[in-house]
A and B are shown apart, each in its own frame.
Chain A
Amino acid sequence: MTDSGHSTSGIFERFAPQVYAWAYRLLGRHHDALDVVQDVFIKWTTQCRKDEPQRPAGWLRRVTLNRAVDVARKRHEPVDLELVGPRLASSDASPDDGDLDTLRSDVSAALRLLPEMQRSVLVAKVYDELTFAEVAEELDISMSTAKTHYVRALGSLRDRLRNRWLEEHQS
């Protein structure tokens, strides 16, 4: 995606819902996500007023995800999924709202533990539904690197979510 020449208000109108969604996925709380939206666009205004990134979406995603990780860290939330409750998943489990909240919290924590680039690639691929070519261009990496980050990120998430949310696969 290549964008340029947008005013701050244009960028805000276009990307604010997406920035909110990125932040919410990592934080799971409305007000924390709103704080991140505000911080990100203030940073955009102060840093990018003169020198606007060629790919605003890539810049915004990276800054948003990093900011969300910072916010979560300051909240001192537990991130060790092994310490959180019994296993809830079963093959026919259909999570109710409570389970969904717990799932959201666990996934958010697992996403925050990923290295920055793996997290950016995974969010771009899974939630923003970009192709590997688009992800590579936006993050300024090669396609093979994007693919490697994607598989590694999924592997890390699987290992962290396995005990609660994934079935045991037997050979």
Chain B
Amino acid sequence: MNCERAKDLLADALGHELTGEDRAAFEEHLGSCDACRLEYASLTETLGVLRRLETVPPQASLPFGAPTAGLTSPRIRLFAGLARYAAVVALAFVAGFLSRGGVKSDTDIDRHRGPDAPIVGPHKNADLTTREALASAYRRNPHGNQLATLMMALHAGEKK
């Protein structure tokens, strides 16, 4: 066997897939060729280093299960995150709107509550105003994003 043939068999030898006559001839060649013997020895030693790390620390159990088909893709998760954030903002709008009684002008106060009624605090007319604004927004954009519509409606309500 010459070095060229030994090189062809090197992968099989390192991969423990060299058998029979080829193996005997390969070993015989290593016995007589320093270069091939050194190459084989150094790569075998490298394999030995890799195999010292064969055992991976057990991960006990994975702290999560298989992803479900719902909120799985990064894009969907991003939208879900944004929707949650927007919901918080929308709730803050609602809370702020209600705490101001939904009344934006002295004219409104006079019309719905009278000039002496307290301005601060929830008022039953506030709900009406919000519902009306929402209904109006839905009429204008019935297939739109509900959360965005709600926010637009509330924003519009504030400007009234």
Q: CB of A163 within 8 A of chain B?
A: no
Chain A residues with CB under 8 Å of B117's CB are: none
Task: Give the interface segment out of A9-17, A52-60, A64-72, A77-85.
Answer: A9-17
Given the interface contacts A13-B66, A104-B53, A150-B11, does A42 sit within 8 Å of B45 by beta carbon?
no
Number of interface residues of B (CB under 8 A): 35
B11 touches A132 (CB 8 A): yes
> What CA separation (Å) do A13 and B54 show in the bound complex?
21
B49 touches A154 (CB 8 A): no
Number of A-B pairs, beta carbon distance below 8 Å:
110
* Interface 1/0 per residue, B49-78 and A, CB below 8 Å: 111111011010011111111001110000
Number of interface residues of A (CB under 8 A): 48
B59 touches A42 (CB 8 A): no
B10 touches A30 (CB 8 A): no
> What CA separation (Å) do A21 and B15 show in the bound complex?
21
Q: CB of A115 within 8 A of chain B?
A: no
Q: CB of A141 within 8 A of chain B?
A: no
* Interface 1/0 per residue, B100-136 and A, CB below 8 Å: 0000000000000000000000000000000000000
Give the secondary structure class of A's interface. helix
Chain A residues with CB under 8 Å of B66's CB are: 8-9, 11-13, 16, 41, 45
> What CA separation (Å) do A171 and B41 show in the bound complex?
11
A46 touches B72 (CB 8 A): yes
Q: CB of A74 within 8 A of chain B?
A: no
26 A-B pairs in the complex with CB atoms less than 8 angstroms apart: A8-B66, A12-B65, A13-B66, A20-B59, A21-B56, A24-B56, A30-B57, A38-B67, A41-B67, A45-B68, A100-B53, A125-B15, A127-B54, A131-B17, A132-B12, A147-B15, A150-B11, A150-B14, A150-B15, A154-B47, A158-B46, A161-B49, A165-B49, A166-B45, A169-B42, A171-B34
Q: Which residues of B contact A (CB under 8 A)?
A: 10-12, 14-15, 17, 34-35, 38, 41-43, 45-47, 49-54, 56-57, 59, 62-69, 72-74
